[in-house]
Amino acid sequence: MEKRIGVYVCECGPNISEALDIDRVVEAVSGMDGVVVADRYKLLCAGAGQQHLVDQIKEHDLTHLVVAACSPKEHESTFMSVCEKAGINPYMFQMANIREQVAWVTPDKEQATERAIRHVRAAVGRVIRHTPLATREIECNPDVLVIGGGIAGLSSAALLAGPERKVYLVEKEPALGGAVKGYEKLFPGMRSGSELVQRYQAQVEANDNITVLTGTTVKSILGFLGNFEIAVENGQGEGQEFMVGAVVAALGMKEDTESLGEYGYGEIDDVYTALEVEAMNLEGRLALKNGDAPKSVGIIHCVGREHSEYCSSVCCMAGMKIGRYLKDKLGDVKVTGFYRDLCVPGCDAEQFYRETRDAGMEFVRVGRVEVHDSGNGIVLKCGTAEGAVKEEKVDMVVLLPSVQAAEDVGALAEMLSLPLGPHGFMIEEHEKLAPVNTSMEGVYLAGGVTGPGTAEQTLSQSEAAAGRILAGLVPGRKLETEARVSEIRADLCAGCRTCLTVCCYGAIDYDPMKGICVVNEVLCRGCGNCASACPSGAASHRHFTSNQIYREMAEILK
């Protein structure tokens, strides 16, 4: 079939038209192989511009379309729909970015024109080698697995479950509620943590569409968005398997115990961690080991800060909350926070800090703090900023350790072949564009699994994760797969599995019967890692073939 390419250069108002000589660009591509029409237009993305393109495609019987305009991030999908509307395959289209990559980067009109010519010629050289691509539709299971029965998991489950969507809520502990259940109060509003948990838990328990599996751990997660096979096991070793379409990883966090020893923890009586004091408070016994009420308490911030190499952001506030417990319940107690840097982000936190100070808690800025047992109480030796050492006698020490990811986060990441961040937390796909997604479609994150956070932050994430699933995995609707994916030619593959190790999405499987690797088109995101790693040229990207790239480069470098 004859290849008939139409090239249209957008003026983008003055953006492109004033920065370069569009007529010369049009002229430079007019004689190229396959180009039957090249022209300029005021604003192609506008309604009239799109209609113009549709009319042109029909009038000239075009088979391929090139638009030279803005970034493909902005309008690639617009012009691909134009192609569809005009009856040609949307992948027979190529965009040349002559605005962000040309017009906006130089005031030199001559240089800009020269460069625009290369970009547009490259697009023509490439598009002629495009092949029509098609998406597929796959059946989806709308059900969801929520891992972790803390507030993140509970709120996600409550939002997601409905008559058409079942939720499996898996919690490894015998009871739901997570860490927040153990907090009498939550900063900064000093509302009850346990009441909050109860409220969510009641919603979950009242919902017939939620299956709560406590004392249960997830053994394996296989599959992809819309089609995950889940295997779980309870404490008695009884297994269960079910299908879901999406997964919310709502695992929590834990205290970093690595550096506690440096502060006399475990050796000196009455040195506690923040979580231990939370538990003591909940039981109503904020007391020393000998049963007496403490007269003075030192709260040490930033314990393990050097070890963890990050600010855990919630511990300063947690320390203030403990100060408030002590002041509220014991009244006559001196509470001092020994901090290096105080992390009090946001208006509510600032207000909370002021209230805590008004309640009588003192804050002393120190360097390194050492905890010594004097035989008659605890002595804190605090290095001051000036290098002097100040001694402070206290009855009780509360350590505010940094926050780490829960133990099973690593195992889950391995199960899903997802990367962990440098600090052991799971990482989001994109901090701004996809903050609760993972690089595996259909797996979402909420709460401590992503890093230290407050209850509000956790709930925002769990609701966001639920929102992603509600919007993307609609019961009865099929999923459209990405057309621009990789493929592996069976006759070329030598089964070396190099591609498998470089695939970030777990989208390649090894078929031991045939001795070759196979791409799962649903999981593949078309990143092209496999295509570049494959020595045989067996793996290739459907929309970035060597030939297409070569021709594009050849025109650019001419």
List contacts with other proteins (CB under 8 A): 422, 491-498, 501-502, 515, 533, 535-538, 546-547, 558
Alpha-carbon distance of 363 to 334, in angstroms, equals 11
Alpha-carbon distance of 286 to 34, in angstroms, equals 83
Q: Toward other proteins, which CB reaches closer, 128 or 466? A: 128
Q: Toward other proteins, which CB reaches closer, 358 or 491? A: 491
Q: Please provide the DSSP assignment of 64-121 as one string.
A: EEEEEES-HHHHHHHHHHHHHHTTS-TTSEEEEE-IIIIITT-S-HHHHHHHHHHHHH
- Residue 444 Cβ, how far from other proteins at the closest point, in Å? 24
Q: Toward other proteins, which CB reaches closer, 282 or 496? A: 496
User: What does the angle CA 337 – CA 254 – CA 205 come to, to the nearest 5 degrees?
Assistant: 115
Q: Toward other proteins, which CB reaches closer, 13 or 537? A: 537
Q: Toward other proteins, which CB reaches closer, 50 or 548? A: 548
Alpha-carbon distance of 32 to 195, in angstroms, equals 72
Torsions phi, psi for 170 (to 5 deg): -105, 125
For 2, which DSSP code? -
- Residue 487 Cβ, how far from other proteins at the closest point, in Å? 14
- Residue 554 Cβ, how far from other proteins at the closest point, in Å? 9
- Residue 130 Cβ, how far from other proteins at the closest point, in Å? 15
- Residue 501 Cβ, how far from other proteins at the closest point, in Å? 4
- Residue 60 Cβ, how far from other proteins at the closest point, in Å? 24
CB 197 within 8 A of CB 178: yes
Alpha-carbon distance of 40 to 325, in angstroms, equals 72
For 448, which DSSP code? G
- Residue 222 Cβ, how far from other proteins at the closest point, in Å? 22
Q: Toward other proteins, which CB reaches closer, 448 or 528? A: 528
Helix 455-472 and helix 151-160, axial crossing angle in degrees, nearest 10: 30
3-state secondary structure of 266: coil
Query: Is residue 310 classed exposed, middle or buried when 0-12, 13-18 and 19+ CB atoms within 10 A define those classes?
Result: middle
Expressed in percent and rounded to 5, the helix, strand and coil fractions of the chain are: 35, 25, 40
User: What does the angle CA 94 – CA 96 – CA 98 come to, to the nearest 5 degrees?
Assistant: 165
Q: Toward other proteins, which CB reaches closer, 384 or 547? A: 547
How many Å separate Cα 2 from the centre of its chain? 46
Please tell me the total number of residues recorded for the chain in this structure: 558
- Residue 65 Cβ, how far from other proteins at the closest point, in Å? 23
Alpha-carbon distance of 420 to 450, in angstroms, equals 10
Q: Toward other proteins, which CB reaches closer, 371 or 519? A: 519
Alpha-carbon distance of 100 to 473, in angstroms, equals 35
Place of tokens 């040229």: 537
Q: Which residues does 386 contact at the CB level (< 8 Å), separation at least 6?
A: none
3-state secondary structure of 27: helix
- Residue 498 Cβ, how far from other proteins at the closest point, in Å? 6
97, amino acid identity: N
CB 232 within 8 A of CB 240: yes
Q: Toward other proteins, which CB reaches closer, 175 or 492? A: 492
- Residue 327 Cβ, how far from other proteins at the closest point, in Å? 46
Q: Toward other proteins, which CB reaches closer, 359 or 533? A: 533
Q: Which residues does 512 contact at the CB level (< 8 Å), separation at least 6?
A: none
Q: Toward other proteins, which CB reaches closer, 377 or 424? A: 424
- Residue 515 Cβ, how far from other proteins at the closest point, in Å? 7
Q: Toward other proteins, which CB reaches closer, 129 or 357? A: 129
Q: Toward other proteins, which CB reaches closer, 385 or 557? A: 557
The number of C-alpha atoms within 13 Å of 378 and in the hemisphere containing its C-beta is 26
- Residue 434 Cβ, how far from other proteins at the closest point, in Å? 21
Helices (H), 227-361: 274-282, 305-308, 315-330, 347-358
CB 437 within 8 A of CB 468: yes
- Residue 511 Cβ, how far from other proteins at the closest point, in Å? 13
